[in-house]
């Protein structure tokens, strides 16, 4: 055995030890291994970097993009809600369905990406079904790995061996060559988990995992005493509000209601936008307001062409999906200290409305917008989720104290879900019938 072979085995052993020790990220270990082979002279720079130009690398990266698209359009969470509806309160049915869906998804995209997409879904299912998260996450991880055995693109090793067959002049595997054996192994694993494996899973743990520690939307609006004060109205054709700006309509001073945000329906994505003084009302606009039932009634009686939306039981689900809420804490050096909300022009600066103030742990009542802010005050702010995301980068005047756990379910491009499904279906069709190479599909 010559020195070069010993060097290769040494580098391989060092790489394996680094992978096992988990002291460095796997991608860093892989790059270090390539660098070591290049510096040792075992590979030329061209040979060492040749793998980055392989279509397989582009294909795997593309599968991660597909997974992110399913997450951002809300497709993954829609599947999770369907799972909960079908499984009900049965842990066994939930396990079987979750494993089947994750395996099915990982058959057509990176199994790592499929599992990553479903982690927040599984935590959400855990919280709603009252099942410890550990009892769902481990079987889900198994299913993600097994799903890679179902199709050619399910996992990189399948693509690697098929690619090598093609290079050797032999017939490569087709899209479903792995399916019969992979399906058999998947079914056997699910049977094992249901009959025996689930009794070996940890029984302790808080349902919902770490996300359970975070306050929910209901917790936040209850703490600020606005639980029954969140409403949605739609501006109908002929309303006198049409053409007026928020500053001209003066709904807060006239009726005591705060317009938090506006959603303007359109053919494409219609996100919730912050309600600014210059925002002009149009027919079809959906207004998100905070106020009392009495003041809302006065508004509806005085202003024609306003339709109240949703039953009370549905309102908070809609708000969780479309309207962002966050709790922020004023810092000692905040420029907002000593100013009122109006004087600080909070809405104009941050694109968010202040819905309530906590001082010494108690919610302020009355016209809190005219109250001078003090260090330690907590503000409940509302607006679009995009504005909430931007708020997290703000470090001068306040720090973000609480984001409701419903934020994990927010899909910033929910309106594009049909497009995402159509793109995935088109990709699968092109791969299945070998119309174009897999990387092109």
- In the chain, what are the helix, strand and coil shares in percent, each to the nearest 5? 55, 10, 35
Res 406: pLDDT: 65
Residues ≥6 apart with Cβ < 8 Å to 336: 330, 344, 346, 373, 397, 398
Phi and psi torsions of 409, nearest 5°: -95, 0
Q: Is 170 in a helix, a strand, or coil?
A: coil
Please give the chain's pLDDT, 441 residues, in tens: 577 888 888 888 988 888 888 788 877 888 888 888 888 888 888 887 777 767 767 776 776 777 777 777 777 777 777 777 787 768 888 889 889 988 988 887 767 667 766 776 777 777 777 788 888 888 998 998 898 888 877 777 877 788 788 778 787 787 788 888 989 999 999 999 989 888 888 776 555 544 455 677 778 877 888 777 778 899 999 899 999 998 888 888 788 888 888 888 765 555 667 777 788 899 989 888 888 788 889 999 999 999 998 745 445 555 555 677 888 888 888 888 889 888 888 877 888 888 888 988 888 877 677 788 988 889 988 877 777 777 766 667 788 888 777 666 666 677 777 888 888 788 777 766 767 776 776
Distances (CA, A) of 101 to 42, 96, 107, 118: 44, 9, 10, 10
Residues pairing with 262 in the sheet: 273, 287
What Cα–Cα distance (Å) separates residue 239 from each residue in 67, 252, 307? 43, 18, 10
Rg (Cα) of the chain, in Å, rounded? 27
CA 439 to mean position of chain CA atoms: 26
pLDDT value of position 319:
57
Looking at residue 318, what is its pLDDT? 56
Output b/e per residue, 39-74; b: 16+ Cβ within 10 A. eeeeeeeeebeeeeeeeeeebbebbeebbebbbbbb
DSSP string, 287-299: EEEE--HHHHHHH
| pLDDT at site 311 | 47
Q: Tell me the C-alpha distance between 30 and 100, whole Å.
A: 32
Residue 326, strand partner residues: 381
Whole-number Å distance between alpha carbons of 57 and 407? 32
Say if pTM beats, i.e. exceeds, 0.85: no
Evaluate whether 37 touches 31 at the Cβ level (below 8 Å): no
């Amino acid at each position: 055995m010559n020195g070069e072979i010993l060097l290769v085995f040494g580098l391989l052993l060092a790489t394996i030890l680094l992978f096992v020790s988990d002291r460095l990220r796997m991608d860093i270990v892989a790059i270090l291994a390539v660098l070591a082979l290049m510096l040792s002279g075992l590979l030329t720079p061209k040979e060492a970097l040749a793998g980055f130009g392989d279509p397989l690398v582009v294909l795997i990266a593309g599968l991660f993009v597909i997974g992110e698209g399913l997450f951002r359009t809300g497709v993954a969470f829609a599947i999770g809600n369907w799972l909960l509806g079908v499984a009900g309160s049965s842990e066994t049915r939930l396990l079987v369905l979750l494993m089947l869906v994750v395996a099915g998804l990982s058959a057509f995209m990176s199994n790592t990406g499929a599992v990553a997409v479903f982690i927040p879904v599984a935590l959400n299912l855990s919280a709603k079904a009252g099942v410890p998260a550990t009892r769902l996450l481990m079987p889900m991880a198994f299913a993600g790995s097994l799903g890679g055995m179902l199709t050619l693109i399910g996992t990189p090793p399948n693509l690697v061996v098929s690619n090598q067959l093609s290079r050797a002049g032999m017939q490569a595997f087709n899209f479903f060559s792995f399916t019969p054996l992979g399906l058999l192994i998947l079914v056997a694993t699910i049977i094992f988990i249901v009959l025996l494996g689930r009794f070996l899973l940890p029984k302790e743990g808080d349902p919902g995992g770490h996300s359970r520690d975070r306050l929910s939307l209901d917790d936040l609006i209850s703490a600020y005493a606005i639980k029954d004060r969140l409403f949605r109205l739609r501006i109908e054709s002929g309303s006198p509000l049409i053409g007026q700006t928020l500053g001209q309509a003066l709904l807060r001073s006239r009726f005591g209601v705060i317009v938090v945000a506006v959603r303007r329906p359109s053919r494409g994505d219609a996100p919730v936008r912050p309600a600014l003084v210059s925002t002009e009302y149009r027919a079809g606009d959906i207004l998100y307001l905070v106020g009392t039932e009495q003041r809302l009634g006065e508004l509806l009686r005085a202003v024609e062409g306003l339709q109240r939306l949703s039953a009370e039981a549905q309102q908070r689900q809609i708000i969780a999906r479309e309207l962002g809420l966050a709790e922020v804490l004023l810092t000692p050096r905040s420029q907002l200290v000593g100013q009122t909300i109006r004087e600080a022009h909070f809405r104009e600066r941050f694109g968010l409305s202040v819905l309530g103030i906590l001082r010494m742990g108690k919610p302020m009542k009355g016209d809190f917008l005219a109250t001078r802010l003090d260090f330690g005050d907590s503000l409940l702010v509302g607006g679009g989720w995009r504005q909430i995301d931007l708020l997290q980068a703000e470090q001068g005047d306040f720090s973000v104290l609480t984001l409701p756990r419903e934020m994990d379910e927010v899909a910033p491009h929910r309106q594009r879900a049909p497009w995402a499904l159509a793109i995935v279906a088109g990709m699968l069709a092109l791969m299945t019938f070998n119309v174009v190479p897999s990387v092109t599909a």
